[in-house]
Structure 1
Amino acid sequence: MNDRYDAGHGGGQDGPYEVVGYDEYGRPVYRQAPAPQQTYDPYAQQGQQGQQGYGYDPYGTGGRQQPAAPYDPYGNGNGYDTGRQDPVPPQSPYDPYDTGRQAPVAPQTPYDAHDPYAAAGGQPRVAEQTARIPQQAGPREEPEGPGAAEPEYRTEQFAFVEEPDGDSEDVIDWMQFTENRTERREEARRRARARAVALVVVLALVAAGGVGYLWYAGKLPGLSSSDSKTGGTTAAGAQKRDVIALHLHDTDGGSTSTALLVNNTTTKTATTVLLPNSLALSGDDGSVTTLAKSVDDDGPDATQDALDSVLGTDIEGTWRLDTPYLQNLVDLVGNIEVDADTDVPDPDAKDAKDAAVLVHKGEGQTLSGKMAVAYATYQASGEPQSAQLERFGQVMHGVLRKLSSDAQAATTTVQTLGMILDPPLTDKDLGSFLASLADLAKGGDHKTALLPVQDDGTLSAEDSSGVVKDVLGGTAKSPDEGAAVSVSVQNASGDKDNTAKVRVTLVNGGFTFVEGGTASTARATSQVRYADAADKENATEVAKTLGLPTSTVAKGEVSGNARVSVILGQDYEPAS
């Protein structure tokens, strides 16, 4: 329908009408107004010349509007005999038909109680209602005149736009909250998984560390502490040791002190083994001598071979250290600290009674080079040589703790001393070796051990097994092709002289004698043992050489530094 209305088109002889007021129902009341100048009327194409009604007749009655009568909604013969209210166009701010005046528009109520169509739910669509629909298409031209059909509305005339909902922000907030909560849950799950993995790794490390400690301590089933760490033959493999013999020569007193510097590269430990001068050694001719005599008379090479035979070691070189060089060495490393067990007088004092104390007894005593020499060589009257060896070991431990762990720096220190080393030992070899010992000493992996010997210089089987077997032993050495068979002899005959007699007999028979110590308890019969089947023949030959019956030969445990072991019993009779 038309949504524009022009009162100037109610022409005729009565002229146009204008609104003068509104009745009790809010409808406009018209009066005749002076007729304006006739203009073009696009709706006046109904085939009735000279007859003008309102600009748009949606019901096509062809009736003529009575100018003198007001608007009658009940159809009392005024041309609107349709029984329903004619749609009223909304007020327009402009006149599309160029009539020159504003068309009055009556306000409409959404519901009229006097309209029968409104009571039945058929209230006509008015311009005010349709105007509320966004993007509404313009009115469609309907034919006018008798029989004109009631206008219909098609869906394409409307474009519905979804108006923003007041709760849309709440919906977005809820979606964001849900998304954030999901992310937090996923993050919590990831953190939980990371913590679980970290816990499993920590437990595995703790378990591995516990097993490693038990193995190191020898508490695992089937392993003992001596087997797992200190060199037993049941350990994981043969332990490798680097050994250098150290002879300290006191240029003033003329005495010597001997120690073996041992670096166990398998267990990462170092030991300074102190050797008493009374240790019995075998000479090249089978004669018995002591360590002190061998150093002075036979020289370093012969002493080294004799020590290898008695202790089962593999000494790589000999380091002769005179006391002036020891003094320079301590001064080069910057003094040392020891726990002095006694007061040491100044050896340069003329009168011993009035001599001042050079080294005071006490813990953490700082010693210079001169003080270190005096402390290392001091042996009080009536003291055993073992007491002086202990002091010598303390000085060497202090030197190793202050020496550089860098091989090049340690080598430079050795070269600065200006010593002449006995071949095959060189400055570089000695420097590298001392640097390794210094590193272990700083880490607390260096110790000092005294080799126990009996009054006659022989080894006690019970007392020396910890040092000889655990520190110096390990596994039996593979002899060179054509080398003499090493024979360890333990004297359990009750006669100490039998040890020296057996040494002479075996050396004359082409065997190498290895000191096995003296048993505390005598046994009746002798026994010759071999561990490898290949040495059965050698064991039989040893028994014949010693005058023992072949029935004493049996397979069994053998000392780690020998191929054949002999236990002398009371049945042994030395050859005349």
Structure 2
Amino acid sequence: AQDAPYPPVATSARTPRPRTPQDSTQDSTGRPAADSEPTDRRGEDGPADEEYRTDEFSFIEEKNDESEDVIDWLKFSESRTERREEAKRRGRNRVVAGVVVLVLALTGGLGYLWSAGKLPGFAETETATDAKPDTRHVIVVHLRELGSGDISTALLVNNQTAARGTTVLLPNSLALASGEGGATTLGRSFAAEGAGATRDALNALLGARIEGTWRLDTPYLENLVEMVGGITVKSDATVPGEKDGDRPLVKQGAGQELNGVAAVAYATHRGESEPQTKQLARFGQVMQAVLKKVSTDEDAATTTVESLGQIPDPHLSEAQLGAALARLAKHARAGAYRTELLPVESDGTLSEKTAQGLVKEVLGGSVTNADPQATARLTVRDASGSRGAADDARVTLVNGGFTVVSTGAADAPAARSTITYRRDDHAEQAKEAARTLGLAADAVTKGEGAANADITVVLGADYKP
């Protein structure tokens, strides 16, 4: 056979149908037409590499059952792989969503605990910095005995935030700053400077805002007890009757029912050699028992106060006092009431323990103690019978650096001059005053003097101006 000018067309196992390339011309034998030229020819120097154009060949595909099965299997495999990938993707999305929800839940929970102050390690810091102070309403009450003029003082504290009440008993030895720059005591401040100055001095000492003063003279306490129908106390002492042979006004023991007269007698009773704090504690018992019987209705309590007929303090009207007593009565009836004594040091000041304890916790204040060593206040009484002696002594003492608050005549003449001081911390100043006036050192003694001064000077006939 004659060699074909081109290699035979590649075929598959099945005989393909011959297809005519679009850009070539064939004759009846299937060979290229004579006028068509191959892309590459043999060169003159030797046979060249034979190259063919791709468009000169066609592969014929024939559909059969086996190819359809292969296609179906490929489609099945592809769809199953896609489903697996989709399932994995959804699983990953669920995990991510779960983690996000968990983080948000933890963040929210921690935020709530932090804001509520329940997170360990952070509660104390938040309480210290963000907690608001309790709302308190404080009034001071002075029980004054008509005969002697002695007073018993207490603070009535209504802690509105904590829903509890407290009576804080104040000893008369409590050191206060006087209006003249010196130091005085609670007992003498009320007698010499009045209720308003005493309230201001207590505010300065305790750092508490005392809203007003309730001066409760003993006859008014008697009437108040009668108005509430009497009180019941646990008596720690037997109070004798007014006259020898009379039945005791109050018997010792629990469940003692007291009328107005008996309540006053018990509140002011001070046994022989007893400190003033014992009598003060009895006054506190009476006040708490009265509050348990006062009406919790503010209008009714105000009516009770008005019925007493007292002259109200300018800073505390009858309506304000009635409302305050009604609120305290609610605490007393609910069992959320207590009575506490303010501990006072020997020099009249308050200790750091008291400042951080009762004063801070109950009153919400901070202590600023009066200086017990401050310049003492002196009063001069002339018992020498020499005109002008008191004025001369006053000038001498002022020039010596002392504070003289008053001068005047003594009740009776005296042959010998005396200088009396109340507190031990004023002993040296009393001796210095004696030296300044040219008096003997033995003229100085400790004892009771004028109510408005720390040191009392009585000029006798031995005083030489």
Q: Please, which of 263, 287, 311 is the counterpart of residue 182 of structure 2? A: 287
- The residue type equivalent to 1:264 in the other structure is N
Q: Which has the larger radius of gyration?
A: 1
Counterpart Cα distance in 1 of 2:119 and 2:239 = 44
Match of 2:353 in 1: 462
Task: Deviation per CA, 1:236-270: give whole Å up to 9, x if none.
Answer: 21111111010000113321000011111111111
Counterpart Cα distance in 2 of 1:272 and 1:445 = 12
Structure 2 CA distance for partners of 1:369 and 1:233, relative to 1, 3 Å: farther
Counterpart Cα distance in 2 of 1:323 and 1:235 = 45
CA contact (8 A) 2:157 2:165 kept: yes
- The residue type equivalent to 2:273 in the other structure is G
Match of 1:500 in 2: 373
SS of the aligned residue for 2:295 comes to: coil
Q: CA deviation at 1:379?
A: 0.5
Counterpart Cα distance in 2 of 1:469 and 1:503 = 30
Match of 1:446 in 2: 337
State, as a whole percentage, how many aligned pairs show the same letter.
50
Task: Deviation per CA, 1:331-381: give whole Å up to 9, x if none.
Answer: 0000111110111112x21x3xx4431101111111111110000000001
Structure possessing the higher relative contact order (Cα contacts under 8 Å, 6 or more residues apart): 2
1:427 and 2:318 matched: yes
Structure 2 CA distance for partners of 1:414 and 1:462, relative to 1, 3 Å: same
CA contact (8 A) 1:246 1:318 kept: yes
Task: Deviation per CA, 1:478-534: give whole Å up to 9, x if none.
Answer: xxxxxxxxx9469xxxxxxx7534999xxxxxxxxxxxxxxxxxxxxxxxxxxxxxx
Listed as ranges, the gaps of 5+ residues in structure 1 are 1-210, 477-486, 491-497, 505-576
Listed as ranges, the gaps of 5+ residues in structure 2 are 1-112, 378-465
State the Cα RMSD in Å: 2.9
Match of 2:279 in 1: 388
CA contact (8 A) 1:282 1:503 kept: no
CA contact (8 A) 1:286 1:503 kept: no
Match of 1:356 in 2: 247
Match of 1:242 in 2: 137
- Equivalences for residues 539-554 of structure 1 within 5 A: none
Counterpart Cα distance in 2 of 1:434 and 1:453 = 27
SS of the aligned residue for 1:239 comes to: coil
Match of 2:87 in 1: none
- Equivalences for residues 151-170 of structure 1 within 5 A: none
Match of 2:211 in 1: 316
Q: CA deviation at 1:438?
A: 0.3
Aligned length: 263
Task: Deviation per CA, 1:388-417: give whole Å up to 9, x if none.
Answer: 111000000000000100000000000111
SS of the aligned residue for 2:249 comes to: strand
Q: CA deviation at 1:435?
A: 0.3
Structure 2 CA distance for partners of 1:293 and 1:266, relative to 1, 3 Å: same
Match of 2:68 in 1: none
Structure having the larger proportion of residues in helix: 2
Task: Deviation per CA, 1:23-67: give whole Å up to 9, x if none.
Answer: xxxxxxxxxxxxxxxxxxxxxxxxxxxxxxxxxxxxxxxxxxxxx
TM-score (ref. length: structure 2): 0.53
1:472 and 2:363 matched: yes
Match of 2:153 in 1: 258
SS of the aligned residue for 1:455 comes to: coil
Structure 2 CA distance for partners of 1:503 and 1:382, relative to 1, 3 Å: closer
- Equivalences for residues 96-135 of structure 1 within 5 A: none
CA contact (8 A) 2:183 2:372 kept: no
SS of the aligned residue for 2:156 comes to: strand
- The residue type equivalent to 2:171 in the other structure is P
CA contact (8 A) 1:451 1:464 kept: no
Q: CA deviation at 1:219?
A: 12
SS of the aligned residue for 1:448 comes to: strand
Structure 2 CA distance for partners of 1:401 and 1:337, relative to 1, 3 Å: same
Counterpart Cα distance in 1 of 2:193 and 2:346 = 22
Counterpart Cα distance in 1 of 2:250 and 2:269 = 11
Structure 2 CA distance for partners of 1:503 and 1:237, relative to 1, 3 Å: farther
Counterpart Cα distance in 2 of 1:220 and 1:247 = 46
SS of the aligned residue for 1:440 comes to: helix
CA contact (8 A) 2:207 2:368 kept: no
TM-score (ref. length: structure 1): 0.43
Match of 1:437 in 2: 328
- The residue type equivalent to 2:190 in the other structure is V
Task: Deviation per CA, 1:164-199: give whole Å up to 9, x if none.
Answer: xxxxxxxxxxxxxxxxxxxxxxxxxxxxxxxxxxxx
Q: CA deviation at 1:434?
A: 0.3
1:377 and 2:272 matched: no
Match of 2:200 in 1: 305
Q: CA deviation at 1:233?
A: 5.3
Match of 2:292 in 1: 401
Structure 2 CA distance for partners of 1:222 and 1:343, relative to 1, 3 Å: farther
SS of the aligned residue for 1:358 comes to: coil
- Equivalences for residues 331-346 of structure 1 within 5 A: 331-346=226-241
Task: Deviation per CA, 1:530-553: give whole Å up to 9, x if none.
Answer: xxxxxxxxxxxxxxxxxxxxxxxx
